[in-house]
A and B are shown apart, each in its own frame.
Chain A
Amino acid sequence: MKIKPFYLVVALLIVAGISLAWIRHAQLHIPLRPGQTKPVWLIEARIDFVAHGNPVTVSLDLPDNPPGFRCVSEQAASLGYGFTIVDGATGRRAEWTRRHAAGPQTLYFKLQMVPDDTEAAPETPTPTPEAPATVYWHELQATAAQQVLDLAYERSSSPISFARELIRQLNADPPDQNAALLLDEYPLPDLLRRLLNQAGIPARISLGLELEDARRYQNLKPVLEVFDAPHWVPINENSGAHGLPENLLLWHRGGQSLLDVTGGQRSDIRFSMIRQTMPSMDLARLQFDGGGLSRFSLHHLPIEEQSVFKLLLLLPVGALVVTFMRLIVGVRTAGTFMPVLIALAFLQTTLLPGLAAFLGIVSMGLVLRGYLSRLNLLMVARISTLIVLVIFLASVVSVLGYELGVQVGLTLTFFPMVIIAWTIERMSILWEEEGSQEVLVQGFGSLCVAIIAYLLMRIAIVGHLAFNFPEVHLVLLALILLMGQYTGYKLTELKRFGVMGDQR
């Protein structure tokens, strides 16, 4: 049978439509719902230093896919400096260069970060670092350290729990003797790193930025990270809690120094930040870099064409409604797709003013057409006359309405005049031939379909999906194809053939 490949095609269309949309959603972060907003951290790093008048090179370590965040944009502002972002073996670094600079210098680096909960988990495994170098202590401290380590070792089973035990000992209140001795010499994070390294566990001090709205001149804060294969795990040096706290951006992780300044001194780096809210759609658009899937996006078109497509891509929805109403329900309409065009016009006029304008112009047109039919005009001339009259009427109504402060008149301009003229002509002939009842039936049917199509197209999510995920039209196409195969009774036929039940 021919049917099987057909259903296969339909299934394929549906699967392709949905999966393409999903892939684009996942990869390009195009939101599935309209009007979604996301918080965005706008972070500004300010580097100050004093230059000696020699060539200057400033190199700043940049966050490289920090866990829990996604970078949306980066931008450097610094007058007279050359700027590049270098992707080296030690990570990404921003580099400012200048042949000659003297006196106090200020460089800015701005970036926008979006908290990204979805990708918190899949951090790529990092290569196992080399075994930590030997740690040297004073004799007194070496004994204390060994005792602390022995106790912690006894009570733990893994690098993380080992670190936690160390933290508990060092933070005990009152501190035990060994801990007090060690803390006298070293600050807590550094001490922990030394202790862990001594035990042969790779640990490092990274620098993180605590994000808090509208803070200025913040310093990076040391964060202890312990290597628990295959990841580096941040651990709070006071509570022992592992994992990344919310709103902590790991700016500098291992590797080289945070900031290198050659040709200057007294360098300092400070951070300011504010929390903004941005529509998810704009965020997604910022990331359309022209590669891969984002190539096939209507957002690359000029704005004017985009707005045309915004409307055009709603047409299939209207076509679906018409198909459903005519094939399954069996509503009679004047002109197959006239209701869709009316619905599109309603989209711009909103329903009630649009309805009033439409009914007004059509009924006025019918009156005029009644006179025209007495003139014995040829049909093409008659419709042309009607078009001219309809446009004339529309402008008179618009001007009058505007003068009187009634905006309804203005909405007339959105209706396709030629379609209206044809509608009037058809309605008028229908009236003459089939009587007023048929005009009412078809007119009512058309308006019903138009209103349903309008209500559907007006739903924000429908417009959003249609424009941002054009591939969902494949699903609509599949539905229309399916309906094209429907051989059952129309809903209205159940009534039409109702008399058939009586006889037996």
Chain B
Amino acid sequence: MWHSAPHLRRQGVLGMNRRNVAYISRYNPRSKYPLVDNKLKTKLLAEKFHLATPCLRGVIEYQYEIAAFQETADRLDGFAIKPAKGAGGKGILVVTHRRDGQFVKSSGRSVDIRHIRHHLSNILAGLYSLAGTPDVAIIEDLIRSDEMFAALSFAGVPDIRIIVFRGYPVMAMLRLSTSASDGKANLHKGAVGVGLDIASGRSLHAVQYARRITHHPDTNTPLDTIAVPDWRDLLILAARSFEMTGLGYIGADLVVDRDRGPMLLELNARPGLSIQIANGAGLLPRLQTIEKLDRDLSPPAEERVAFAMQVFGSDNP
């Protein structure tokens, strides 16, 4: 159904044009983009700043290294292959375990080593990179879902997207893959988005394909009782990525590992707008609240998170 522009404006919905002009180009210096557009750089930087990230198991830079990939793979049971410059979750291949020499993907389909080599060479050729430039493939540890999350997701690990504006977490959502989204966590592919209360990490509102739902379409778990554990730590982790990158408007993707707790998965300098649908609330009022704060003042991440939890909680919208 359609809505009039004044109606959306009253709701404080941030549109694509406004996001690009008023936030991304104003708060994100172009020179800092490579830090987040290249996952390898993000990873190394995060390690420097002591932000937890999934363990890096290998980097494939040249075509000839692909032949030797089998050895790397043999040392690992499950792993994830990602293009360093991929966007929108493109080109990510997650292998959960091995069966009869085959690799089992997160969707449950098994593939052979040739498929993986082909995928790697596609990555190196730049098929998934933003501008089609040559790329490198990074191989990292598989993330083991926390039990609570495992029940929620159809396949793959649910991740938490937090919009961080000038270091303040302003809006968050939990993304659950579905069979429709082929284990991917992208909302437009059919993943479920669950808006989270910044104050508590509890679910507010869940949507799939821009429609409200109450239960996960595959697992049938109720979605209105979710409470993300370690919520404050997650927010602080996300908030610290501001100091790390110097980007004012970013989307931080985090996961909660069974063993290692909250981890930073990747950062996005052009975070999508569907988080508003998942939250049933517009970003604009929150962004404007932060814009009113003194720019010269930069309190530590803990204080920023405390401020955000207080101001952006569902009790005081």
Q: What are the residues of chain A within 8 A of B114 when measuring CB–CB?
A: 376
Most A CB contacts (10 A, CB to CB) among B8, B9, B63 go to B8
Q: Choose one: B17, B125, B211; the contact of A380 (CB below 8 Å).
A: B125
**Which residue of chain B lies nearest to A330 when distances are taken between CB atoms in the complex?**
B16
| Contact indicator A498/B15 (Cβ below 8 Å) | no
Q: Are A378 and B13 interface neighbours, CB within 8 A?
A: no
Does B260 touch A at the CB level, under 8 Å? no
B interface size (C-beta, 8 A): 37
Chain B 9-42 interface residues, beta-carbon cutoff 8 Å to A: 9, 11, 13, 15-18, 21-22
User: Is the contact region of chain A dominated by helix, strand, or loop, or is it mixed?
Assistant: helix
Partner of A490, one of B9, B15, B21: B15
**How many positions in chain A have a CB within 8 Å of any CB in the partner chain?**
27
Binds A, one of B71-79, B96-104, B115-123: B115-123
Residue of B nearest to A501 (CB): B3
Given A378-B63, A499-B207, A500-B282: A488 and B15 interface contact (C-beta under 8 Å): yes
Residues of B within 8 Å of A499, CB to CB, are 1, 207, 210-212, 277, 280
Any chain B CB within 8 A of the CB of A371?
no
Bound-complex Cα distance A327 to B18 (A) = 10
A490 near B277 (CB under 8 angstroms)?
no
Report Cα–Cα, A376/B66, bound state, in Å: 13
In the complex, A157 has a CB within 8 A of chain B? no
Q: Does A4 contact B (CB under 8 A)?
A: no
In the complex, the answer to whether B7 meets A501 with C-beta atoms within 8 Å is yes
Contact of B207 with A490 in the complex, beta carbons under 8 Å: no
Residue A459 interfacial (CB < 8 Å): no
Q: Which residues of B contact A490 (CB under 8 A)?
A: 15-17
B17 / chain A contacts, CB cutoff of 8 Å? 327, 486-490
Also in contact, A498 and B212, with CB within 8 A (given A376-B117, A376-B121, A378-B63): no
B315 to nearest A CB, angstroms? 16
Distance to closest chain A CB from B48 (angstroms): 32
With an 8 A cutoff between CB atoms, is A320 at the interface?
Answer: no
Interface residue ranges of B262-301 to A (CB < 8 Å): 276-277, 280-282
Docked-complex contact A497 and B125, CB < 8 angstroms: no
CB distance from A480 to the nearest CB of B (A): 14
Closest chain A CB from B46 CB (angstroms): 27
Give the docked Cα–Cα distance between A498 and B207 (Å).
12
Bound-state CA distance A379–B129 (Å) is 12
Q: A388 near B: Cβ within 8 Å?
A: no
Contact indicator B127/A429 (Cβ below 8 Å): yes
Whether the pair A489, B15 counts as a contact (CB closer than 8 A) is yes
With A487-B15, A499-B211 known, 15 other A-B pairs at CB within 8 A are A376-B114, A379-B121, A379-B125, A380-B125, A433-B90, A435-B189, A487-B18, A488-B15, A489-B9, A494-B2, A494-B5, A496-B277, A497-B11, A499-B280, A502-B280
Q: What residues make up the interface of B, taking CB atoms closer than 8 Å to A?
A: 1-5, 7-9, 11, 13, 15-18, 21-22, 63, 90, 114, 117-118, 121-122, 125-127, 189, 205, 207, 210-212, 276-277, 280-282
**Could you show 30 A-B contacts with beta carbons less than 8 Å apart?**
A327-B17, A330-B16, A376-B117, A379-B121, A379-B122, A379-B125, A379-B127, A429-B127, A434-B189, A487-B17, A487-B22, A488-B17, A489-B13, A490-B15, A490-B16, A494-B2, A494-B5, A494-B8, A495-B3, A496-B210, A497-B11, A497-B13, A498-B3, A499-B207, A499-B210, A500-B11, A500-B13, A500-B276, A501-B3, A501-B11
